[in-house]
């Protein structure tokens, strides 16, 4: 994966995990940009998913990491963007496969259902895995709805 500035976002449920991931990424030498939320107060996940989705779409950040309680809200919102392929992951095998087979450009994590250690392993695997292309590229090209 050709990593640039990694975009991060979360809602209140994912805030603490986002902070842990941001610290780990910085310690590994990655540049990051945080698209919010910036605290534990209740907030609306779409606000931050839209900011990250726009940033990845426009090339301001790549890849992205999004975190909310279940991960589903972030994934649903991010996947409204035609250029985004957000993969909800709960173990390293899925984190590897969403990159290899789906060319995911946003990793989505469920903060209420993963440990920090497991989340960091998923981030590491996601960032270290390349898209395989081949038959998978043909399938990815079929994802956008044809008008």
Q: What pLDDT, on the 0 to 100 scale, is given for residue 2? A: 83
* CATH number assigned to the domain comprising residue 73: 3.40.1400.10
Residue 1 covered by a domain: no
> What does the pLDDT read at residue 124?
98
User: What pLDDT, on the 0 to 100 scale, is given for residue 3?
Assistant: 87
* Choice among 12, 50, 101, 136 that is catalytic: 101
pLDDT of residue 1: 77
Which alpha helices (H) appear in the chain, and where do they start and end?
15-27, 45-57, 72-78, 92-100, 116-128, 135-140
Q: What is the count of structural domains for the chain?
A: 1
Render pLDDT for 82-98 as a digit per residue (tens, 0 to 9).
999 999 999 999 999 99
Residue at 88 is within a domain: yes
d(CA 56, CA 23): 21
Owning domain of residue 47:
6-140
| Single pTM value for the model | 0.96
Residues in the chain with pLDDT < 70? 146-147
**Considering the domain boundaries, does residue 146 fall inside one?**
no
Q: Is residue 143 within 8 Å of residue 86, measured between CB atoms?
A: no
Residue 108 lies in a domain: yes
Q: CA 104 to CA 64: how far, in whole Å? A: 9
Looking at the domain assignment, is residue 58 inside a domain?
yes
Residue 50: active-site member? no
pLDDT at position 145:
77
């Amino acid at each position: 994966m050709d990593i640039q500035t990694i975009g991060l976002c979360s809602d209140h449920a994912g805030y603490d995990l986002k902070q842990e991931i941001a610290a780990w990424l910085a310690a590994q030498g990655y540049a990051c940009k945080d698209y919010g939320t910036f605290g534990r107060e209740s907030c609306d996940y779409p606000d931050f998913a839209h900011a990250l989705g726009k940033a990845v779409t426009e090339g301001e950040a790549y890849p992205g990491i999004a975190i909310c309680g279940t991960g589903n809200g972030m994934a649903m919102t991010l996947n409204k963007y035609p250029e985004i392929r957000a993969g909800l992951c709960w173990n390293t095998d899925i984190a590897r496969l969403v990159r290899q087979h789906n060319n995911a450009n946003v990793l989505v994590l469920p903060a209420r259902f993963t440990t920090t250690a497991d989340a960091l392993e998923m981030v590491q695997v996601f960032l270290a895995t390349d898209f395989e292309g081949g038959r998978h590229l043909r399938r990815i090209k079929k994802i956008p709805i044809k008008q």
